[in-house]
Amino acid sequence: MEPHERDGFADMLEHAPIVAMVIDSEGKVVRANAAARRFFDIDVQLPASLIEVTVESRLFEIVRNGELPAVANLVHHRRTVEVHIVPGPEPWLRIMFLVDITDVRRLATVRQEFVANLVHELKTPITSLRLTAESLLTDPPVKERHRFADRIVREADFISKIIDNLRQLGEIEMGSPKVERSTFALDELVRDSVHRLGIERPVELTVPQDLAITTDRAKLVQALDNLLDNAAKFSPAGTAIDVDAKVADGQVVISVRDRGPGISPEHWSRVFERFYKVDRARTREAGGFGLGLAITKHLIQVLGGTIWTEAARDGGQVFRISLPREVLTGA
């Protein structure tokens, strides 16, 4: 390769948008482009061994064994990359390209889990519908027919609710839902939700009467309803649910606390995934079907806020919503 060609090639490699390293016949890295230096935080003098440069023995094994193309799980960088090696500008040089596929793999896993969870959630009601329909074909007594018909209606409603929630999630994720702004007292909204849901347990409210917020009332109502319903389902009978609100750092923070068994910290981030359940042994009636918190998270994000969960100080679990006092998103 002519000198001017080498310069052009080196410049092109340096600014390539993917990780690229030039490796010699001894397996040493003689050049690393900008993307590689950022990815591996390279601070050693080149040339240097591939392991010294990347701190990843798996890449060395791929080069040594000629496993190409290959996928490598980078232990120290906690990323998954696709590895390609092509001839370099000189006969004794090779170029290793790394394509970060971590997010692609994660999304593929999420899709697989979503399909598996959806099948799991629909299998029970569909099986129940079939068995109930078969029972009706035997021409049972009138009393039994009414019981079977009631069962069919309940299972159909359950499936319909799953579909409605999935449709709403899809609409939120696909675009920017319209935000209908209005100003209202938060105390009144919380009391209305508690009354409408008919929660059969004490609800302790600590919400300042003069605390007003400007946001989409309907979306906040749905998010709060989901949290209250969740707290009621996972609290022992007769125990109280605590709802409080305050202003902190210019944000309105709403907390809903139950007195249930709590959630282990490893589940805290995942409870907002669709169909995710901490305890899959709970019945559908007791535990729902794992879409409420996913919807709540997306609704709060639409309103410019955040939601998280943590252990309550004296036992149980608390879910917190942080919202701007005045939502900035217009219609």
Task: Out of 51, 72, 100, pick the residue that ends a domain.
Answer: 100
- The verdict on residue 270 lying in a domain is yes
Tens of pLDDT, residues 65-89 = 887 889 999 999 999 999 999 998 8
179: left (phi over 0), alpha (psi -120 to 50) or beta: beta
pLDDT at 7: 65
Indicate if 194 and 162 belong to the same structural domain. no
Task: Out of 174, 207, 227, pick the residue that ends a domain.
Answer: 174
Task: Quote the domain boundaries for residue 168.
Answer: 104-174
Indicate if 163 and 120 belong to the same structural domain. yes
Lowest mean pLDDT among 53-57, 67-71, 275-279, 323-327: 275-279
- The verdict on residue 331 lying in a domain is no
Indicate if 301 and 246 belong to the same structural domain. yes
Q: Is residue 22 scored above 70 in pLDDT? A: yes
First-to-last alpha carbon distance for the chain, in angstroms, is 60
Lowest mean pLDDT among 1-5, 19-23, 190-194: 1-5
Q: Is residue 289 scored above 70 in pLDDT? A: no
Indicate if 211 and 146 belong to the same structural domain. no
Whether 94 and 83 have beta carbons less than 8 Å apart is answered as no
DSSP label at 267?
A: G
The CATH number linked to 188 is 3.30.565.10
What is d(CA 255, CA 152) in angstroms, rounded to the nearest whole number? 38
The helix, strand and coil proportions of the chain, stated in percent and rounded to the nearest 5, come to 45, 25, 30
Task: Out of 154, 174, 194, pick the residue that ends a domain.
Answer: 174
Question: Mean per-residue pLDDT for 211-217?
Answer: 93
pLDDT at 242: 94
- Count Cβ atoms within 10 A of the Cβ of residue 169 and give its class: 0-12 exposed, 13-18 middle, 19 or more buried: middle
Tens of pLDDT, residues 104-158 = 998 888 788 778 878 877 888 899 999 999 999 998 898 898 999 999 998 898 8
- The verdict on residue 33 lying in a domain is yes
The CATH number linked to 47 is 3.30.450.20
Domain count, the chain: 3
- The verdict on residue 330 lying in a domain is no
What is d(CA 272, CA 293) in angstroms, rounded to the nearest whole number? 5
